[in-house]
Amino acid sequence: MSTFIRGATVLAMGGASGSTPFTGDLLVEGDRIAAIGPNLPVPDGATIIEGAGKLVMPGLINAHLHSGEALFKGRYDNLPLELWMLYSYPILGAKALAERMIYLRSMVVAIESLKTGVTCLTDDIFEAPRQSLAQLGAAVQAYDDAGIRATVSGHVMDKDFLDSIPFSREHVPADLQAEVAKLGVPTTAEYIDFAKEAYAAFHGRSGRIRFMVAPSAPQRCTPELMQAANELALEWKVPFHTHIVETKVQGVTGPAIYGKTLMRYMDDLGLMHSGTTIAHSIWVTSDDIALMGEAGVSIVHNTISNQKLGAGVAPVRQLLDAGVNVALGSDGICSNDTPRMFDVMHACGLIHKVTTPDYKQWVSAAEVLHACTLAGAKSALIGHEAGSLEAGKKADLLIINLNTVSFTPRNDILNHLVYCENGSSIEKVMVNGEIVVENGKLTKIDEEALLAELQAAMPGFNEYHSGVERTNKAFEPSFDAIHRRCNQIDIGVHRLIGNSDMWPSTPSGNF
Ligand SMILES: [Zn+2]
């Protein structure tokens, strides 16, 4: 079974042509690209797709998202991370979600991702109070059914949550601290057993599903758990996926809790290497950046989420210059609030231009596209399989109509992809050699029925979740105080645009 795309504009994002579009053909055999280039011979019996007026490019890669937030899409606004988490990742009162709801929740993410050109995603899945194998299986089933390529976790925390927040013992009322202390945390052995079961059950399914370990963050996990998870990541050649210095509060956390930056702390534990993927990396020092470059880690730049939560702007140019692999992510589906990577690319292309007048430092459209394709694949440790159109790689690609208004009049294709297109010009999406989106519809599932089923289940879910929100609102005054206090501390790093990224009209703080 082979498919031959004839005479298209091809943007390979790899191989000899790199990010220079050319006119040529592409042959898919089975799940892989068999050949790519100008004037290829047409094999007998191949299904031919005429490429005139079309662009063929690699599918976009979302290197960091949390499908667990999808039920809260569009629910919150104007909350910084630490306060927003009280409602989206409630500390108290959350009950295990039914597997069918997890299936539908994941399916909403898969549908929107595929329809907007995302062929591969990394889903760091958090379940409250603790993820079960069956719950992870429900998410895997959704991605398998929809036809997307996915790496799933395995998200875990094994510390009292309040111990991950600086100054919480001073600000959070004693009765609430006692409630939190009653919550159990998994042991390292329990998480490792879970990871082994999940790896055995799901890794490699359908040639598209992979498992990864994902200790939440160095301030939320014990060194024992992180190092044990890292051993598995190295053994299985899967990512060690985590979160570091997303917010100013987290920038303060390393010095406040460990007496060093969180990157230095990670490095001292032996956790910084080419299989490490770090979400955010905003409040990093210049020493951190050098260390990250030497270690060869990946970071995921969550451009839109970081704006929505007021987290700041990651120093992408400095990270790239240091040799860090920079991928792009949507982050969670209620801090963005969509997994559309064309939106993320657009925001990424723009925001760095207002961080410095030195326009030679600005991030280019070619760099944005690289981050959203090959760098994303590299962060998932599948750079040899995905992220570019090259013979031998998996056939994960988009066929885009160039006769739409987004590409008319047409100038530089890369600029159009980052600054003009929003995914609406996509005609076909292929994953693993299979057409999974055709004329705006998913081919493998009944998306209307699935969306209707989820919509019908939401009143009951929202009633439950509103109660959880009321319970966790009790933390808001103390978390507000912690947010203000941390934003009065000068850690020598400034990541908010403008000249007032310390809390206004307050004396400069200290630890
Ligand atoms: Zn995240």
155 alpha carbon to ligand 1 midpoint, in Å? 10
Coil vs helix vs strand at 99: helix
- Measure 461 CA to ligand 1 centroid, in angstroms: 23
CA of 64 to the centre of ligand 1 (A): 6
**What is the per-residue DSSP string for 304-358?**
HHHHHTT-----HHHHHHHT-EEEE----TTSSS---HHHHHHHHHHHGGGS-S-
C-alpha 291 to ligand 1 mean position (Å): 22
| DSSP-assigned letters across all residues of 389-449 | --TTSB--EEEEETTSGGGSS---HHHIIIII--STTEEEEEETTEEEEETTEESSS-HHH
Q: How far apart are CA 119 and CA 148, in angstroms?
A: 6
Give residue 305 CA to ligand 1 midpoint distance, Å.
9
| Residue-range domains of the chain with CATH | 60-393 (3.20.20.140)
Report CA(121)–ligand 1 centroid distance (Å).
Answer: 13
Q: How many A from CA of 308 to the centre of ligand 1?
A: 13
Q: How far is the CA of 485 from the centre of ligand 1 (A)?
A: 23
Q: How far is the CA of 1 from the centre of ligand 1 (A)?
A: 39
* Distance between Cα 364 and ligand 1 center (Å): 25
Residue identified by tokens 């850690």 is 491
Residues counted in the chain: 511
Residue 65 CA to ligand 1 center (angstroms) comes to 6
C-alpha 300 – ligand 1 centre gap (Å): 9
What pLDDT does residue 504 have? 59
Q: How far apart are CA 466 and CA 488, in angstroms?
A: 32
Q: What is the pTM of this model?
A: 0.97
Cα angle 374, 379, 385 (rounded to 5 degrees) comes to: 55
pLDDT in tens, 106-159: 999 999 999 999 999 999 999 999 999 999 999 999 999 999 999 999 999 999
CA of 259 to the centre of ligand 1 (A): 24
Reading the block at residue 422, the tokens are: 């929003």
Give strand pairing partners of 399. 56, 428
Q: Tell me how crowded residue 113 is: count the other CB atoms within 10 A of its CB.
A: 31
Q: How far is the CA of 424 from the centre of ligand 1 (A)?
A: 27
For 97, 197, 240, 363, the CA distances from 134, given in Å and listed in that order, are 11, 11, 22, 42
From the CA of 231, how far away is ligand 1's center (Å)? 22
Are the CB atoms for 55 and 9 separated by under 8 Å?
Answer: yes
CA of 404 to the centre of ligand 1 (A): 34
Tell me the CA–centroid distance for residue 30 and ligand 1, in Å. 34
CA 85 / ligand 1 centre spacing (Å): 11
Q: What is the pLDDT of residue 511?
A: 54
Q: How far is the CA of 142 from the centre of ligand 1 (A)?
A: 20
CA of 296 to the centre of ligand 1 (A): 20
Q: How far is the CA of 331 from the centre of ligand 1 (A)?
A: 5
Number of H helices, E strands in the chain: 18, 19
How many CB atoms are closer than 10 A to CB 162? 17
CA of 393 relative to ligand 1 center, distance in Å: 28
| CA 216 to centroid of ligand 1, rounded, Å | 8
Q: DSSP secondary-structure letter at 149?
A: E
Task: Please tell me the distance between residue 298's alpha carbon and the centre of ligand 1 in angstroms.
Answer: 14
Instruction: Report how far residue 467's alpha carbon sits from residue 460's, in angstroms, rounded to the nearest whole number.
Output: 11
CA of 146 relative to ligand 1 center, distance in Å: 23
- What spacing in Å lies between the alpha carbon of 35 and ligand 1's midpoint? 37
Whole-number Å distance, alpha carbon 383 to ligand 1 midpoint, is: 21
- pLDDT attached to residue 1: 81
Ligand 1 centroid from CA 332, angstroms: 6
CA distance 320 to 258: 27
Residues 437, 427: Cα–Cα separation, whole Å: 8
511 with 255: CB under 8 angstroms?
yes
Q: Are 455 and 101 in contact (CB under 8 A)?
A: no
Q: Residue ranges of the chain with pLDDT lower than 70?
A: 498-511
154 cis-preceded (ω within 30 degrees of 0): yes
Strands (E), 188-321: 209-211, 214-215, 240-244, 276-280, 298-301
**How many whole angstroms from 220 Cα to the centroid of ligand 1?**
13
Among left, alpha and beta (phi > 0; psi -120 to 50; other), residue 275 is: alpha
Largest CA distance in the chain: 76
Cα of 403 vs centre of ligand 1, distance in Å, is 37
- Give the distance (Å) from ligand 1 centre to CA of residue 329: 9
What was the pLDDT predicted at 62? 98
Question: Which residue bears the tokens 């929003």?
Answer: 422
CA distances from 7 to 197, 393, 407, 487 (A): 46, 20, 18, 55
Predicted local confidence at residue 510, as pLDDT: 54
Separation of 247 CA from ligand 1 center, angstroms? 12
User: Ligand 1 centroid to 15 CA: how many Å?
Assistant: 31
